[in-house]
Structure 1
Amino acid sequence: MQNEITIPIILDAVKKVGDVFLKDYKQNAIPQTMEELLKQLEGIDALCLTALKKDLSLNFPNILWHIGDEFDTNSQKNPSEQEEYWLCDAMDGAIQYLQHIAGWTINLALVRHGNPFFSVIYDPLANEMFWAKEGEGAFMNGKSLQISNKTDLAVMLAVFEYGHQDKSGNNLNEKIGSTVTKLLNNFGIVRNYGPHGLQLAYVGAGRIDLFVQEDLDTYNWIAGLLIAKEAGAEILTATGTAWKWGSESLLAAHKSITEKYMQIKSIN
């Protein structure tokens, strides 16, 4: 049985926990050892998940929870067998948060029948709330989002990303290097920013013209992917096929831009 969702309740819960982190931002020392780093990352995950569960379970008691461990490659290849569940990646960009730099968000997605149905990304530093519902569009602070309609590559901003997948012995580093080279040779502006979901939301907002990643990173993508899609972006793999859960690459942009990118990629 599918549950009716009340969007303002979900947005309020995500904003509430994001603002808790904002209050504590830069208050802790930057971790200097692996032990300190892991301890602080665990603390972020625990606080975020506990707060979201506490608020949302009161209103949606029948929706189960699934923790998106971005370091677990195998679990990202297929959605959970549950008909409906919250997929929580806690803080996207937690490393930036711990390093006292911008680029961290609270991400949450509701998955139904193996596909994202609703998602939200909250950027506390910018006070920007991105969200989308399947078939109903994408929004930021109540305003409808629309992707970029640029036609000149020289004024386009392209971003590349990479995840935690093991890149030894599978030529992924070479693929990523080739991708970056092609971007640098053809797009006016090329960046690597950090929070994957937020970058995909920025595609939906027309702030980023193209997003591409060559390795598997489902949990980092899923919330922003729906926002970009509902804003009008084409969601493909880096080889130009339709993206599906478990695809080991992602390309998101206006259809005319993905077509140009695929033409560029076909040139040796």
Structure 2
Amino acid sequence: MKPLELNPKVPYVVGRKSPTAVAINCASKTGEWIKSRLGAYNELNTKHAPGDLVTDVDKGAEMMIRKLILTHFPDHTILGEEGVAPGAAASAEALSEARKSEYLWIVDPIDGTTNFVHGFPFFCVSIALAYKGEVIIGVIYDPMRDELFVAEKGKGAYIHGQRALVSKDAALADGIVAVGFNPDREFALPTNMKGLNALAGQAQSLRAGGSAALHLAYVAAGRLSGYYEVGLNAWDIAAGALIVAESGGIVTDTVGNPYDIGVRHLVASNGKIHKELLDVLKSADATGITQ
């Protein structure tokens, strides 16, 4: 894979035929199509829970991404949200099988479908490429703001070609932390609510935008100092986790174990507040992990 080329006049250049370029092309083209369908979807259904929505646009977007990737890399495997049955068990099984592949693309065609359905402008396309189980490329595209977040392992993270860096907040009390309201009402949502209540008394302020991938992108951009959520899937996290790490941040599970594509309970931060975040969640019994 051709590495990123940097020069003073063009801060961020990607080889046209590289996997990074393909991911960028997929995300941008698909994102623009999704934007054109805002308020114009034809089908709306629920999956695992009442708040877990899917539209014909999600399915069409994933099909578009699959075709574009396989045109360039026909031997690669693709794990996409819309190709997996609802529920944590089905997600884990699909990932277990898919991660056997040498090259695995991990795709969320619309991260933030509920926002898309309601016209709330906080959703994105998330595309990652893993090599032998390790994420090496991450791309997130926000079509409503025309913001492109890109990272290649060991090469840094960029927002439209400009280097992304995490915030400098040194304490939880100084930072804004994002949280998620997972649609799983039996396990994930109650656990997240315990974490939210605990963090509300410790962080400067909390936010909940409704897109895990964009929350991670915002941590990487320094707009958030941290993000916590229990009950996520590989496609929610993979691209954003690399982007955060390449921006100088830290991504772990909720008890501090290093990030892996199988992680479902997540903490991401600028690194400086990471231990404090983990300690608050542990004290509140809000990790979602039984030790």
TM-score surpassing 0.5?
Answer: yes
Q: Which residue of 1 aligns with 2:166?
A: 147
C-alpha separation in 2, matches of 1:219 and 1:256: 26
Alignment of 1:52-63 (within 5 A): 52-63=65-76
| TM-aligned CA distance change 1:247 to 1:14, over 3 Å | closer
Map of 2:204 onto structure 1:
188
Contact 1:65 1:86 in 2 (8 A): yes
1:220-239, CA deviations, whole angstroms, 9 ceiling, x for partnerless residues? Answer: 11111111111111112212
Unmatched runs of 5 consecutive residues or more in structure 2 = 3-16, 285-291
Residue 205 of structure 1 aligns with which residue? 221
In the alignment, structure 1 residue 8 sits paired with structure 2 residue 21: yes
User: Greater shift after overlay, 85-94 or 70-79?
Assistant: 70-79
Structure 2 Cα separation of the partners of residues 174 and 105 of structure 1 = 26
The TM-score normalised by the length of structure 2 is 0.79
Q: How does 1:128-147 map to 2 (within 5 A)?
A: 128-147=147-166
RMSD: 2.9
Higher mean C-alpha deviation, range 81-90 or range 203-212: 81-90
Runs of 4+ more than 6 Å apart: none
**What secondary structure is seen at the aligned counterpart in 1 of 2:54?**
helix
1:57 aligned partner, one-letter code = L
Contact 1:130–1:141, Cα closer than 8 Å, also in 2: yes
Q: Which amino acid aligns with 1:73?
A: A
**Partner residue in 2 for 1:17:** 30
Q: Deviations over 1:51-96 (max 9, x none)?
A: 2233232222332222234833124445421111222221111111
Which of 250, 253, 262 aligns to 1:237? It is: 253
Partner of 2:10: none
Q: Could you tell me whether the CA contact under 8 Å between 1:162 and 1:215 is conserved in 2?
A: no
Give the Cα separation in 1 of the matches to 2:191 and 2:61.
34
Deviations 1:127-172 (A, max 9, x none): 001111111111111111100111243431011124355635xxx5
- CA-CA distance at 1:114 after TM superposition: 1.2
What percent of counterpart residues are identical? 20
In the alignment, structure 1 residue 227 sits paired with structure 2 residue 240 = no
Instruction: Report whether the alignment pairs 1:247 with 2:263.
Output: yes
The structure 1 residue matched to 2:104, chosen from 77, 82, 85, is 85
Q: Matches of residues 110-189 of structure 1 in structure 2 within 5 Å? A: 110-165=129-184, 167-168=186-187, 172-189=188-205
Superposition TM-score, scaled by structure 1 size = 0.85
Contact 2:20–2:137 (8 Å) recurs in 1 = no
Alignment check: 8 A CA contact 1:70 1:220 kept: no
**What are the Cα deviations for residues 29-54 of structure 1, in whole angstroms up to 9, with x where unaligned?**
896x869x99x834123211222233
Equivalent residue letter for 2:214: L
Residue equivalent to 1:72: 87
Q: AA paired with 1:187?
A: A
Give the 3 Å change call, closer, same or farther, for CA 101–186 of structure 1 in structure 2: same
**Structure 1 stretches of 5 or more lacking a match?**
none
* Secondary structure at 1:146 match in 2: coil
Contact 1:160 / 1:180 at 8 angstroms: preserved in 2?
A: yes
